[in-house]
Amino acid sequence: MPDSGGVASQYRVPLRVYFRAFCPACQWFVSDPLLELVRNEQLLPAAGMVEEKNGKLVCEGGSLECTGHRLEVCMIDKDRNDVVKYLGSIACMEGDESGHVGDWGEKMKNCLTTEERAVVDTCFKTKSEQLLREMIQKEHAGNVEWMPYTVVEQKVLGSETQGVGLGELQASFYPDACLKLVGEQKIVAAVEDNAAAHAPAQAAPIDPAAAAEKAEEEELELAIREEATASGKVRLEVFWRAFCPGCMAFITKPLLNLLRDEQFRNVIDFRPVPAAGTSFDSTGKFVCSMGMVECIGHKWMSCAVDLFPKVDELIEYLACLESKDNKGVTWSFVVNKCFPGDNAKKMQACYDTRGDDLLKKHVAQREKVDVLWVPYVVINGASIGDARHGIGYKQLSGEICKAYTGPFENRPNVCQPKRLRAENEKAEPAKETDKVIKPCPPKKDAKNKDKAAAALIDEDAPGIGARIDADFPQAKANALATGPDADDDTSSGLNSLVLPGLCVAVIAFAAFRYSGDHKKDA
């Protein structure tokens, strides 16, 4: 059991997880609920693995799975005293974003440093199979009923058809004492060194150079804020996690549309902070909510923010980095796609030399704000939106309009009342630079001349009916034989006058005849 320090051994809860490399359910469990718990667990990447009589290790998923098991057991062996570290490495290896299964070089490059890769490579060649054999023999890791197979204090969680979420994991993991409240404080397990806990706190020595740098940064920050306040600019801060689905949707749609508008860019002080969910472990290394691959993304984006201060250029790069088309590919591939030419070289140089320092600055900015959800959008110090509903363009632009206090003539047209907006749109003629689509002039050819001549001929009067084609004389006879068309307005009018007149004439004639015969008889 790895020693994570802090809590006394008698209070620790043993947690074992048997899993297969790159099994979909295992990928989710390792990188989500298990990474969130991050306390005192033991990973056993040997599920579905057996040792044959000849000593060869065989995996249920084939040779690729065996290679994954060997690499991951070496990661655990390398950092067995740092649970957070090895769990983050495993989560990164299991993630699709670190590379395709089988492309071990790319996955290792995205998940481990150069020094760490050397240690894992040596272990892989010399003792990885022996470490797995020990797991199979000691823990019976190859004979579990389903994967991932989670055991807390010898009690199996979940089932063959039901996964284990963070809530069940926490409820099964923490002792009852952790759930009892005394006033506003929880009763927690005793720590290893009680004397140290009651020792008077001593101030850590302050580095004069670091203190001077911090004071200079705070002074510069204050000057920027005062300048923005004087000009009426709106301070827009966005805190997000790399490849978080909600963050991807926000950056590539409403935020991109807003900052593509020059009028909005002129009144916004844009402050992107790609560091939500990022913190440090006990050794000072980065720890991210979704593992090392997310930390890598945060470093790339921190470099983009630093290298490209022009907002119109930066937002296009950020939207490209966060595009949904990037799922399942490596960060190096994404960077080469989004940053053409020399810009990709600048990004790589920044990542290799300054990526860590830039991300640390963003983490420091994020720690000043209580980020409750992501993306977390702050306008002039006040957050907008909530944890359940996304922020669309209408809400985002509306909040910017409300917060703007600068000169009226600099106010974006979108912020104007509808009446004034309509008047401005009518009054302003189309600019020469506008891409107005104009109609194409007709081509001058013989066909067009014939059409022009035909246009001079008078059209037939309404209701006259279809013309008889002179080229086909039989049409004339057919037309006469069939009589007037049913929808001929002229013939309908004649019928309506002749029939009543004819009836009146017949009645008058009959009356005259009968009256004459009566006089004669008399």
Domains and CATH numbers, the chain: 12-179 (3.40.30.10), 219-427 (3.40.30.10)
**227 in helix, strand or coil?**
helix
Q: Could you tell me the pLDDT band of residue 314, with boundaries at 50, 70 and 90?
A: very high
Residue 199 clears pLDDT 60, i.e. is over it: no
The pLDDT score that the predictor gives to residue 2 is 46
d(CA 162, CA 180): 29
Report the sign of the C-alpha dihedral through residues 112, 116, 118, 122, in that order.
Answer: negative
Residue 147 clears pLDDT 50, i.e. is over it: yes
Residue 188 clears pLDDT 60, i.e. is over it: no
Bigger pLDDT: 387 or 312? 312
Task: Note the Cα 334 to chain centre separation in Å.
Answer: 15
Give me the mean pLDDT over the 248-263 stretch: 96
Q: Could you tell me the pLDDT band of residue 422, with boundaries at 50, 70 and 90?
A: low
Residue 261 clears pLDDT 90, i.e. is over it: yes
What is the per-residue pLDDT across 449-458, written as a single tens digit (0 to 9) for each?
Answer: 454 444 444 4
Return the amino acid letter for 140.
Answer: H
In 10 A of CB 270, how many CB atoms?
Answer: 20
Mean of all residue pLDDT scores within the chain: 72
Return the amino acid letter for 52.
Answer: E
DSSP-derived letter for residue 205 is P
Question: pTM here?
Answer: 0.47
What is the per-residue pLDDT across 280-302, written as a single tens digit (0 to 9) for each?
Answer: 988 888 999 888 889 999 999 99
Q: Could you tell me the pLDDT band of residue 121, with boundaries at 50, 70 and 90?
A: very high
Bond before 254 cis per omega within 30 degrees? no
Give me the mean pLDDT over the 315-332 stretch: 89
Q: Could you tell me the pLDDT band of residue 520, with boundaries at 50, 70 and 90?
A: very low
Least confident of 177-181, 284-288, 320-324: 177-181
Residue 286 structure tokens: 């980065």
H runs (alpha helix) in 7-143: 24-31, 33-37, 63-78, 83-94, 104-111, 114-126, 128-139
What is the per-residue pLDDT across 204-228, written as a single tens digit (0 to 9) for each?
Answer: 455 666 666 666 666 655 555 555 5
Residue 382 clears pLDDT 50, i.e. is over it: yes
- Using DSSP bridges, classify how beta strands 268-273 and 234-239 pair: parallel, antiparallel or unpaired: parallel
d(CA 234, CA 430): 29
Bigger pLDDT: 64 or 210? 64
- Nearest to 110, CA basis, from 86, 93, 90, 94: 93
